[in-house]
Each structure stands twice: as C-alpha cells, then as structure tokens.
C-alpha cells in the first residue's frame, strides 16, 4: 500500500508520521466530492444507473461509498457498514421520486427533477409544503424498499419479519410466514436518512436549526406512513381450496396508498415557527390542531410556481399541458395562471384490435387518431 510521510517539529526534534495513502485520498474526496451545499441530497441515488450498484460489489464498499454523490460524511460511514443496503436505498429514492411526480402531475409544481445532486433543484432550499412532502415520500420509499429486500433475502443483516401476531388474527390461523421486515426497514431508514440532519449543530432560532427540525419531522412522517399502516396477507390451505386453514404474515401497504395518504397530509400541512426558547417548532396558528408525528409541517409559504425563476428552481407553467374542461388544479384556468392557452391537434399512434393467435402470438393493428392538446401560454 502506498504511504505518505509528514514531518512534525516538536521540542526541536523532527517526528515522521506515516499515513496510508487511502486516508489522504478519503479526506480529499470528502472535500471535493461532497461540498457543503444545503440541497445536495441522498435522493440522487434514485437517479443512479444499475451499473453503479453492480460496480459497488466489484470494486468494494469503501471507495464506492465515498464517490456516491449526495451522501453526507455520516451517511458514507453507514454505506460502508451496510453497503448491501445501498441498492435498496437507491430503489427507495426512485420510488419516492416517481410517486411524487404522480401525486403532483396535475399541479403547477410537478416534482420535476434536474440534473444535479439536489435532484429537485434550488426549490428545495425553501421550507415549503412541497419540500416537506418530498422528504416524507422519499423516506417512505426507503422503508418500503429495504423492508421488501429483507423479505426477499437480498440483505445479509435481516430476513423475514418477526412481528408479533396481531390480536385480530383468528386463533386457528397460522402466523409468521415470511413477511416484509418493516421493523428493520424503519430502523435503517431512521439511522441513514436522519444522519445528515444531525451532523451539524445550529444555534437557537437559526434557520439551519429550523430546517433540520422540519426535515426530521417530515422524514418521520414518511416512515410512519409505512410502519403504522402495515397490512396482513393470508393464503388458504385445505382440500380443493376449501380454505379450512390460513397462513398469514405481515405485508407492506401498497405504495400508491402511502402516496395518497401523504398527499392528504400535504393538503392539511401545518405551518410552524420556533417556540419561545428557539429550540423546537410549534404550530404558528393555534386555531388549528397540533401536528402529530404523522403530519407534514412547513416553514415557508409556497410560491405560485406560475413563471420561471431559475435562481429559485421554479420552472413555471409555460408550455405545460392542461385540461380545458377541468375547473380543478389541472385545468387550464389554474394551471396557466390566467395567461390563457394555445390549442392544436396532435396525431397519436397506438396498437389496437389485438388478437391472440395460436400458438402463441398476439397480433395488433396500428391505429392513428387525432387528439386536441392545450398548452399554457
């Protein structure tokens, strides 16, 4: 192994310190690969190609974990200890990004990604409801992905769920088949995701402390959207499918239902401020209920997202498709912010009149038709 020598002067004597070269390289990478950007996020793992994870197993955890963009120093250490979990983290981040884009597909801000380590751009620097939702759904995605990976035997430190038998299960039914290990998924997501928030100390009443507390709260809201809503799946046994006996196990909720639940929390999110000591966040308006650990909180009002503001990460709605018949958020009146819209006809091709032919082929015709498209001015 290559070594470097450093000379120190102490008491008139010269002392040589020999350090392994990889220590110097590690420190260099921490400085240059992981700048102190406030919006550099681990969500970037959701945009990595599969080849990155395959390379991690070939090259080894230590160099790959350092090179992964978006990880904080503490998350790099967790990566090195749980490197087989990192593909699941990437899949969880990807799951959260896709669900965010689905839930906001008809809104002015549609959870669009950008090509840097922030994933969503400078808009995440604002402590808005959208930022709160993004933290929550990404955190939920990691719990979901890691829990399922445990159940499928992909990870070395966990296996099937050992959750206790629910009291609602019939006493004659069997419990404990290989269920989703939501407990391990929750614990790992708690340690990994919250690590970057807890690595720095902020003074009371500071913006940094407020954002840290907001992010931690919303991370937990996302984890609870999985952990507190686990379901039970069962399969029947018996002669000719009589279902005289059942085997049941713990199962993850459908992730679309998780996204829907978090979207409801987004719609009812609570605006917060510091308490009198500047150490924790409390609701700004006491007319509303105190937020629970499953609710989303935010600090700043959202912009209208109507016009592009690149410095703020706002893309605007010019050129966005809208529904001229809808009076909702996806309708042209609201989506286009009163600017009006342009209409044109677009040719669409798709497979049609599909038939199954023995054996074993499906043949389809190619149909063409025109649709009316409306885009914001």
230 is a domain residue:
yes
User: Within this chain, do residues 93 and 6 fall inside the same structural domain, yes or no?
Assistant: no
Spatial separation of the C-alpha atoms in residues 226 and 137, rounded to whole Å? 10
User: Within this chain, do residues 23 and 70 fall inside the same structural domain, yes or no?
Assistant: no
54-60: long-range pairs with CB below 8 Å, 24+: 56/83, 56/86, 56/87
63 is a domain residue:
yes
Written as tens digits, the pLDDT of the chain (377 aa) is 444 444 444 444 444 434 444 333 333 333 333 333 446 789 888 887 655 665 655 555 567 788 888 899 999 999 999 989 999 999 999 999 999 999 999 999 999 888 777 789 899 999 999 999 999 999 999 999 999 999 999 999 999 998 999 888 888 888 988 999 999 999 999 999 999 999 989 999 999 999 999 999 999 999 999 999 999 999 888 776 678 788 999 999 999 999 999 999 999 999 999 999 999 999 999 888 999 999 999 999 999 999 999 888 899 999 999 999 999 989 999 999 999 999 999 888 888 889 888 777 888 989 998 989 999 99
Domain termination residue (choose one: 309, 330, 349): 309
Give residues with Cβ within 8 angstroms of 249, minimum separation 6: 160, 161, 175, 176, 177, 178, 179, 180, 232, 233, 234
3-class secondary-structure state, position 336: coil
For the chain, how many structural domains are there in total? 2
Identify which of 84, 79, 7 has the alpha carbon closest to the alpha carbon of residue 44. 79
User: Within this chain, do residues 215 and 245 fall inside the same structural domain, yes or no?
Assistant: yes
- What is the structure's pLDDT at 89? 94
369 is a domain residue:
no
CB 7 within 8 A of CB 92: no
> How deeply is 169 buried, as exposed, middle or buried, from its count of CB atoms within 10 A (0-12, 13-18, 19+)?
middle
Domain termination residue (choose one: 309, 329, 344): 309
Domain termination residue (choose one: 277, 294, 309): 309
User: Within this chain, do residues 71 and 154 fall inside the same structural domain, yes or no?
Assistant: yes
Structure tokens at 158: 């966990």
354 is a domain residue:
no
CB 159 within 8 A of CB 150: yes
Report residue 200: phi and psi, to 5°. -120, 150
- What is the structure's pLDDT at 64? 79
Range of the domain at 23: 1-32
323 is a domain residue:
no
CB 61 within 8 A of CB 85: no
75 is a domain residue:
yes
User: Within this chain, do residues 77 and 89 fall inside the same structural domain, yes or no?
Assistant: yes
């Amino acid at each position: 192994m290559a070594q470097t020598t450093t000379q120190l002067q102490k008491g008139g004597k010269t002392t040589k310190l020999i350090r392994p070269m990889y220590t110097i390289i590690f420190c260099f990478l921490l400085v240059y690969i992981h700048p102190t950007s406030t919006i550099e996020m681990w969500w970037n793992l959701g945009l990595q190609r599969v080849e990155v994870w395959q390379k991690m197993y070939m090259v080894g955890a230590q160099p790959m974990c350092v090179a992964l963009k978006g990880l904080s120093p503490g998350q790099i250490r967790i990566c090195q200890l749980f490197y087989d979990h990192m593909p699941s983290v990437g899949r969880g981040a990807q799951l959260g990004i896709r669900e965010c884009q689905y839930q906001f597909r008809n809104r002015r801000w549609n959870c669009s990604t950008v090509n840097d380590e922030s994933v969503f751009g400078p808009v995440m620097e604002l402590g808005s409801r959208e930022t709160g939702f993004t933290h929550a759904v990404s955190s939920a995605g990691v719990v979901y992905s890691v829990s399922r990976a445990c159940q499928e035997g992909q990870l070395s430190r966990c296996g099937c769920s050992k959750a206790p038998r629910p009291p609602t299960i019939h006493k004659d039914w069997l419990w404990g088949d290989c269920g989703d290990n939501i407990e391990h998924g929750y614990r790992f997501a708690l340690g990994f995701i919250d690590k970057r928030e807890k690595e720095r100390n902020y003074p009371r009443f500071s913006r940094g402390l407020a954002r840290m507390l907001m992010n931690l709260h919303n991370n937990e809201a996302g984890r609870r959207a999985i952990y507190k809503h686990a379901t039970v799946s069962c399969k029947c046994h018996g002669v000719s499918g009589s279902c005289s006996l059942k085997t049941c196990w713990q199962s993850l909720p459908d992730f679309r239902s998780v996204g829907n639940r978090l979207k409801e929390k987004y719609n009812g999110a609570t605006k917060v401020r510091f308490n009198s000591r500047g150490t924790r966040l409390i609701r700004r308006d006491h007319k509303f209920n105190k937020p629970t650990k499953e609710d989303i909180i935010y600090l700043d009002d959202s912009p209208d997202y109507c016009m592009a503001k690149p410095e703020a990460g706002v893309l605007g709605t010019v050129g966005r498709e809208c529904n001229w018949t809808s009076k909702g958020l996806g309708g042209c009146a609201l989506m286009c912010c009163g600017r009006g819209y342009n209409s044109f006809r677009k040719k669409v091709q798709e497979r049609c009149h599909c038939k199954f032919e023995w054996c074993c082929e499906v043949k389809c015709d190619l149909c063409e038709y025109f649709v009316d498209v409306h885009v914001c001015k």
